[in-house]
Amino acid sequence: MKRILIAALLCMGLFGCASSGRLGALPAITGGQPSSELVLVRPSNFIGAANSYYVALDGKDVFSIRSGDYTKFRVPSGEHTVMVKCFGGWTPTWKEDGKHFVAATDQASFFEISPSFTCAKITQINAGQASKLLAANRFVSTGIVSNRDIIKPAVGSEDRSQEQLPSSSDFPSAPAANLPEYRLTGAAGGRILIASHAEWDRLCRALAVPSVTVVQPPKHGHIEVTETDFIINSSRTRSHCLGHATHGQSVTYIPDSGFTGVDQMSYRVTSPFADAVHTAEVSVR
């Protein structure tokens, strides 16, 4: 029991507990289009109770569901795939379980979502089984929007490029007072990447691109800011999204022609989730 409680608290602290609610656009049903009802229920269960499960329909995230909740919405008649996604289990990675089904016109399809040995599973059930589960759990309208990570990012939003990542000794995880946050070395006449910045959610999807403004320009060169894709791969970033691609801003220092020596600079990164000034010291050789 103690281990289960600790695991639940870790889930709440590290990975968040999104409320039940809509994550994205539901299938569009045009006037007169054949459709049927899809019912999803996650019966109340202590196991995994602190963890929200994400539901995807035909590859698109549509709903976040908590323990003890159920929802229903209409889908076009025809073949579909419904999937549940869960972070955790025996390893700190995302797990998926899906079912292919045929939505018959005006006939409801029922699915039960529950914890599993790996993390979570989804099972198609009949109307009788569903009736008992629905009576014992709480309905959540698809008109409610989940407060998941799209509102608040899951992790710190700062990262370094994989290709030009310096050794971990070049930048400590917490710089001492009055010392630059980034201490880099580069060749004269070259381009020296300082950092790449992005925001992403707990599904490792890029959010709004942050803005970068120069606070203290370098004395012997200039800063170039470029919107780009890069791989999350940094000793400064403690995230389950390491290794995933994201989209953000890269900050590069370009020294003046013929300059060698030490240059210093600072810049501000702002987004809906952060506002921070970063300092850098570059040794050009």
Residues 169-219: pLDDT tens digits? 222 333 334 556 788 899 998 999 998 888 777 777 887 888 899 999 999
What integer is the mean pLDDT of 104-125?
93
Where does the pLDDT of residue 6 fall: very low under 50, low under 70, confident under 90, or very high at 90 and above?
A: very low
Summarize pLDDT for 8-36 with one digit per residue, the tens: 333 433 334 566 777 778 888 888 899 99
Among residues of the chain, what percentage have pLDDT more than 70?
Answer: 75
- Written as six digits, the tokens of 148 are 């998941």
Task: Look at 14 and 120; give whichever has higher pLDDT.
Answer: 120
CATH 2.60.40, the chain: domain bounds: 2-139, 158-284
Pairwise CA distance, residues 139 & 115, whole Å: 19
Which one is the CATH code of 2-139: 2.60.40, 2.10.109, 3.30.160, 1.25.40? 2.60.40
Burial per residue of 138-152, b for 16 or more beta-carbon CB atoms within 10 angstroms, e otherwise: eebeeeeebbbbbee
Q: Quick one: pLDDT at residue 167?
A: 28
Which one is the CATH code of 158-284: 2.30.30, 2.60.40, 3.30.450, 1.10.3860? 2.60.40
Task: Look at 172 and 221; give whichever has higher pLDDT.
Answer: 221
pTM summary value: 0.51
Q: Quick one: pLDDT at residue 276?
A: 82
pLDDT at 50 over 90: no
Q: Quick one: pLDDT at residue 19?
A: 67
124 neighbors 109 (Cβ within 8 angstroms) = yes
Mean pLDDT in the chain?
Answer: 78
